[in-house]
């Protein structure tokens, strides 16, 4: 590997561009290939970010000698198969959340990572957001223990559009995508596996074919409980909002901002080198490759959250 870590980014849409913005802030990294669905649009994004190669096929990037690692910001249904293709080509890989949309595929990804020894990581950004890192450090020091988490994941998405309001070529999913963030974060923050899980869902959308509203209840082995409400019908404040209720404090996390239970803002600007969760997860991916170690949010570490999602899917069926 050269001193410069050479990365191919696959997925030139809204989230792919968030990765491109973040990678510009990290020393010793060069994006050498950009792969997107439509060639002309991909060329436009490549030109904007100074990427020399633009294409429409993952295989183009995997065949290049100037690619050491791949970041996948592609539709959910492609994640597992593309992560496997990257490792078979000898490339380290970070796949955006979710790792998979069925448990068998997720297990196949983990098995191949263990066989190859390559770095394979999933974009569970909540592990890296400074707000959640702050709470985690309190937990690690024994200063705070979670009793309950109350989480709301709310969007207004009655048509198939992405974060930029543009038409999307695939359908998002409350369970396998958005619930995956909280299921993983709850177990991670509790330092304890999830031992009980149940779910209810609302009506199936007649066009999108997915449930637009969902309620999930979790319990960790520590005894802590989590209530997660998800909706694509919410015409109001959008995003995911976390309330940590503990034995010594209450914390409210809204993206990278953190407040106490009295709505007094907590300064988390010094928690890490950046306030950008995407940048921080990319820094972890790159550091793990350089240091030859397992990253936080490795595919093996996040797989238990997908085992829970599989159980919930079977309940809902």
On whether the CB atoms of residues 124 and 282 are closer than 8 A, the answer is no
Q: Which fold has domain 129-271?
A: Dihydrodipicolinate Reductase; domain 2 (3.30.360)
Q: Is the pLDDT of residue 192 over 70?
A: yes
Mean pLDDT of the chain: 94
pTM of this prediction exceeds 0.85: yes
Share of the chain above pLDDT 70, in %: 95
Mean pLDDT, residues 214-234? 97
Mean pLDDT, residues 158-166? 62
290: left (phi over 0), alpha (psi -120 to 50) or beta: alpha
pLDDT band at residue 129, thresholds of 50, 70 and 90?
very high
On whether the CB atoms of residues 240 and 124 are closer than 8 A, the answer is no
On whether the CB atoms of residues 265 and 273 are closer than 8 A, the answer is no
On whether the CB atoms of residues 317 and 200 are closer than 8 A, the answer is no
Give the contacts of 70 (CB within 8 A, at least 6 positions apart): 7, 8, 9, 10, 58, 61, 62, 86, 91, 92, 93, 94
Mean pLDDT, residues 219-238? 94
Q: Is the pLDDT of residue 213 over 90?
A: yes
Q: Give the pLDDT score at 171.
A: 61
Residue-range domain boundaries for the chain: 5-125+277-297, 129-271
More confident site: 223 or 159 = 223
Q: Give the pLDDT score at 3.
A: 87
Assigned CATH for 5-125+277-297: 3.40.50.720
Q: Is the pLDDT of residue 164 over 80?
A: no
The long-range contacts involving 103-110, CB below 8 angstroms and separated by at least 24 positions, are 103/306, 103/307, 103/309, 103/310, 105/80, 105/81, 106/80, 106/299, 106/303, 106/306, 107/303, 108/80, 108/84, 109/80, 109/83, 109/84, 109/299, 110/299, 110/300, 110/303
More confident site: 45 or 237 = 45
Least confident of 121-130, 159-168, 266-275, 289-298: 159-168
49-102: pLDDT as tens digits = 999 999 999 999 999 999 999 999 999 999 999 999 999 999 999 999 999 999
Q: Distance (Å, rounded) from C-alpha 136 to C-alpha 141?
A: 9
Q: Is the pLDDT of residue 1 over 80?
A: no
237-266: pLDDT as tens digits = 888 999 999 999 999 999 889 999 999 999
Q: Give the pLDDT score at 156.
A: 84
Q: Distance (Å, rounded) from C-alpha 131 to C-alpha 252?
A: 9
Q: Give the pLDDT score at 50.
A: 97
Q: Is the pLDDT of residue 41 over 80?
A: yes
């Amino acid at each position: 590997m050269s001193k410069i870590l050479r990365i191919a980014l696959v997925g030139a849409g809204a989230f792919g561009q968030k990765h491109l913005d973040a990678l510009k802030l990290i020393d010793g990294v060069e994006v050498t290939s950009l792969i997107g669905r439509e060639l002309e649009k991909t060329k436009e994004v490549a030109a904007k970010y100074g990427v020399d190669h633009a294409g429409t096929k993952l295989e183009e990037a995997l065949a290049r000698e100037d690619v050491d690692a791949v970041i996948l910001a592609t539709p959910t249904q492609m994640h597992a198969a593309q992560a496997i293709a990257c490792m078979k080509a000898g490339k380290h890989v970070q796949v955006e959340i979710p790792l998979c949309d069925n448990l068998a595929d997720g297990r196949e990804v983990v098995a191949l990572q263990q066989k190859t020894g390559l770095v394979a990581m999933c974009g569970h950004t909540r592990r890296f957001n400074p707000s959640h890192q702050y709470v985690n450090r309190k937990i690690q020091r024994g200063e705070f223990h979670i009793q309950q988490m109350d989480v709301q994941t709310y969007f207004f998405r009655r048509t198939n559009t992405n974060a930029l309001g543009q038409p999307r070529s695939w359908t998002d999913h409350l369970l396998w995508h958005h619930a995956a963030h909280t299921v993983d974060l709850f177990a991670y923050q509790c330092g304890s596996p999830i031992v009980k899980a149940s779910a209810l869902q609302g009506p199936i959308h007649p066009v999108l074919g997915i449930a637009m509203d969902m309620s999930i209840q979790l319990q960790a082995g520590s005894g802590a409980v989590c209530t997660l409400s998800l909706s694509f019908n919410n015409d109001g404040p959008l995003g995911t909002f976390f309330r940590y209720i503990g034995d010594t404090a209450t914390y409210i996390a809204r993206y990278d901002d953190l407040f106490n239970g009295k709505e007094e803002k907590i300064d988390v600007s010094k928690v890490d080198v950046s306030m950008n969760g995407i940048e921080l997860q990319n820094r972890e991916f790159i550091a793990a490759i350089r240091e030859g170690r397992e990253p936080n949010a490795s595919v093996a570490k996040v797989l238990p959250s997908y085992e829970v999602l599989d159980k919930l899917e079977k309940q809902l069926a």
